[in-house]
Structure 1
Amino acid sequence: MESGPRLGLSATPVRAGDPVGTAVVFDYFDGVVPPPFTLYDAIKSGTLTQYAYHVCRVNLDKDEQDQWNSLTREIRKQFAQSLATKNPQPEAALRLKHLLIRRARIVKSAREKVEAAVSVVTKAFRRGQHWIVYCDDQVQLAEVRDALRSAGCPDVLEYHTAMSGDPRRTLELFETQGGIVVSIRCLDEGVDIPAVSHALILASSKNPREYVQRRGRVLRKSHGKSLSHIYDIVVTPLFDPNEPPALALLEGELSRAIAFGQNAINPGCITDLQRLAIEHGLDWTNLTIAGLEDDEEDKEHHE
């Protein structure tokens, strides 16, 4: 049904991994109104704060790398079978999706991330600051929360849909007093706390919609805030002479990191990412247009 003139406002009009859905949206709204107002434009105009981007590297341990390699072999096998089948069944596509999700979880929940989180926070956190630490699931959240408290970090709060306390009271306390909120996806959208100045990302999908939301969360203007900081834990594979290099792992991590680093005030972060790509023989140009792995899991797993 025709509704007359239409206007939609979105920082992420392109639906990642869904060209058909994207085409429907663009057709309905008759494309993007030129010129697009980019993140660079928003920072330059003072609508958003400038930000520094900090990459922290961790490795998979041997057990995690073995799991990654095993799942990768199975993914390649399933994919080859689907290409050889003239009429692939929906069940085959579902099996492949579940394998990709399981592999993505290995990276998101890498054990070294907890230690890295404690290292970043204990070195950089100052009382009165507002930090959000993004975790993958309840298990990782509990591990990070307990590790931070054991390390003597003050004002560590948690926020998620299954929490026992009052979520609104938690956010009110955080907004007025500052501190560190350990959260899952439920702080990605719908909660406005402009005072947030630091984000530590332990787990992220490669869907731009998610990381654009997270970046926007920390770049909002607030009294006394002139610069924001984003810390990103990037997982790199272990070298195994008996296995092909796990380049898919690093490609996914770097494609997200490049998007974060492109508008940061510290261009050296991009240089560090380029060096990491060279170390592993990756084509930098291809990384900037890397595709998405289907790692969108059931929200109940996270929250």
Structure 2
Amino acid sequence: MADTPITLQSDRGTVLLTDGPPGYDFTQLPGVLFDPRTSTYRAQGRHYRAVIEHLVREKIPFTDSARGWENKDAGWKLKVDWPPHWYQTEALDTWVKTGRRGLVILPTGTGKTFLGALVIQKVSRPTIVVVPTLDLLRQWVGQLADFFGVEVGAVGGGDYFFKPLTVITYDSARIHAERWANKFGLLIYDEVHHLPGPSYAETAIAALAPFRLGLTATPERADGGETIYPELVGPIAYRREITELSGDFLAEYQAKRVLIDLTEEEAETYKSSREVYRQFVADRGISFGSQSGWQRFIFEASRSPEGWKAMRAYRQQKEIERAASGKLAMLEKLMLQHVGERIIVFTADNATVYKIARKYLVPPITHQTKVKERKQILERINSGEYTVVVTSQVLNEGVDVPAASVGIVLSGTGSTRENVQRLGRILRKYKGKQAVLYEVVARGTAEEFTSDRRRQHGAFQ
């Protein structure tokens, strides 16, 4: 009598294994462990492909009831006659050779969405695309509908309908993981650098999708989380930098750092505030070299009057760094120098955004700006009705402003990724534009060190 086939079932983001030959050791299968809570053998969803490949290779009979999609060509063909750029063709071919898994790293403005469509056409399986923002969700839904001429599902921002081709936000993907984890054969993460966060990573762990693509311009993370890409999505399959594609596929650009001096009063206040803050940090033995340094500073600062004083001093020095009078004077000078061009002004905080918006009567975009209003502002920037927009961190990624040619960074973090993303906002090809990114830095402050850190990328050398 033939051995009973092993049965694979999907169970809440895992693959449950039952039946099989008498005495079969399920733990020899990739990722399979014994679950003492239910006295069953199971593997995380991400091991589904490896389990299937092992069973096929060893000629072990099995019944696959875990896969919730039809394992046949979905017949999706691109309806647009767009010849891919050479680097998109290279990226697709390399991704296929890497086992149809892995990251493709391309600068902002080089057509990562179209590359995603090429991958969807190549694999032709039910596909779910995970994106970080509602802006990107609507962008992907619209473009995929145009590319393939099909209705595209959307989950996030009040929308909740799944289709064989669906776009979902990271937050919704996490919340509804059990609903979709076994329904899609291809999993695409846009802005994949968000994925290594503990809650978002759970979506890649639960998904059964054997084919996976991660898209980003900036894979590196401050916490070193990029080391887990291979187990969640796959290795880096293909990479091109801004300097390799500028001129032909991106706008020519310059990156300039402009140093300004604090006033005598600002310099004195900055120095005294920084001394108060640094002395408190030294007395408590707090090190910002560790990931918990900032959390510990907040905890210690909340416990005593000296701590509250140190926190106020920290905020005061930051306010001076971010909105020194010399910075606003330089901003005004640069806006006059580039009058008529489309300008994006970047800051690190909302308070500075609104201060600039009131002073110069320019539209602000922050996380408080409603989606409809944000869309209207960006449309008016692209049309030329507005020429300047000021933002905090909302426009760092995932927003298409092709007409913008001037970026002015008044403040930001020390993150190289943030700096590259801000540069990317002004690099899209548009009527032969010459792009320029100004970084305005307060001389004699900690911001000089922060600026040095965020410029540690080939695009700024």
Normalized against structure 2, the TM-score is what? 0.45
1:99-151 Cα shifts (integer Å, max 9, x gaps): 697465553343432222112212x1222x110111233332233234335xx
Of 291, 310, 321, which aligns to 1:107?
321
Is residue 82–residue 92 contact of structure 1 (8 Å, CA) maintained in 2? no
**Cα offset, 1:210, TM superposition:** 1.5
**Cα offset, 1:179, TM superposition:** 0.6
Residue 47 of structure 1 aligns with which residue? 249
Alignment of 1:106-125 (within 5 A): 106-122=320-336, 124-125=337-338
Q: State which structure, 1 or 2, has the greater radius of gyration over its C-alpha atoms.
A: 2
Which runs of 5 or more residues in structure 2 are unaligned?
1-44, 47-208, 303-310
Residue 71 of structure 1 aligns with which residue? 277
2:429 is equivalent to residue 231 of structure 1: no
Change (3 A) 1:39 1:91: closer
Residue 136 of structure 1 aligns with which residue? 348
Is residue 286–residue 293 contact of structure 2 (8 Å, CA) maintained in 1? no
Residue 428 of structure 2 aligns with which residue? 220
Name whichever structure is richer in helix by fraction: 1
Secondary structure of residue in 2 paired with 1:9: strand
Change (3 A) 1:96 1:112: farther
**Cα offset, 1:196, TM superposition:** 0.7
Of 12, 25, 30, which aligns to 2:218?
12
Which runs of 5 or more residues in structure 1 are unaligned?
150-155, 238-245, 265-269, 271-303
Residue 258 of structure 2 aligns with which residue? 56
Which amino acid in the other structure matches residue 212 of structure 1? V
Is residue 114–residue 147 contact of structure 1 (8 Å, CA) maintained in 2? no
Is residue 406–residue 436 contact of structure 2 (8 Å, CA) maintained in 1? yes
- CA-based RMSD: 3.3
1:239-289 Cα shifts (integer Å, max 9, x gaps): xxxxxxx6x543222222454xx546xxxxx6xxxxxxxxxxxxxxxxxxx
Which amino acid in the other structure matches residue 233 of structure 2? F
**Cα offset, 1:59, TM superposition:** 3.3
Residue 250 of structure 1 aligns with which residue? 448
2:339 is equivalent to residue 126 of structure 1: yes
2:360 is equivalent to residue 148 of structure 1: yes
Is residue 366–residue 394 contact of structure 2 (8 Å, CA) maintained in 1? yes
Of 381, 401, 420, which aligns to 1:174?
381
1:147-171 Cα shifts (integer Å, max 9, x gaps): 335xxxxxx3322343589332222
**Cα offset, 1:15, TM superposition:** 1.3
Q: Which has the higher contact order (CA 8 A, sep 6+)?
A: 1
Partners of 1:82 and 1:263 lie apart in 2 by: 27
**Cα offset, 1:29, TM superposition:** 3.3
Secondary structure of residue in 1 paired with 2:218: coil
Residue 14 of structure 2 aligns with which residue? none
Count of aligned positions? 237
Partners of 1:49 and 1:42 lie apart in 2 by: 9
**Cα offset, 1:194, TM superposition:** 0.8
Which amino acid in the other structure matches residue 198 of structure 1? V
Name whichever structure is richer in strand by fraction: 2
Residue 267 of structure 1 aligns with which residue? none
Change (3 A) 1:63 1:157: same
Share of identical aligned residues, percent? 22
Normalized against structure 1, the TM-score is what? 0.67
Is residue 14–residue 22 contact of structure 1 (8 Å, CA) maintained in 2? yes
Partners of 1:157 and 1:117 lie apart in 2 by: 15
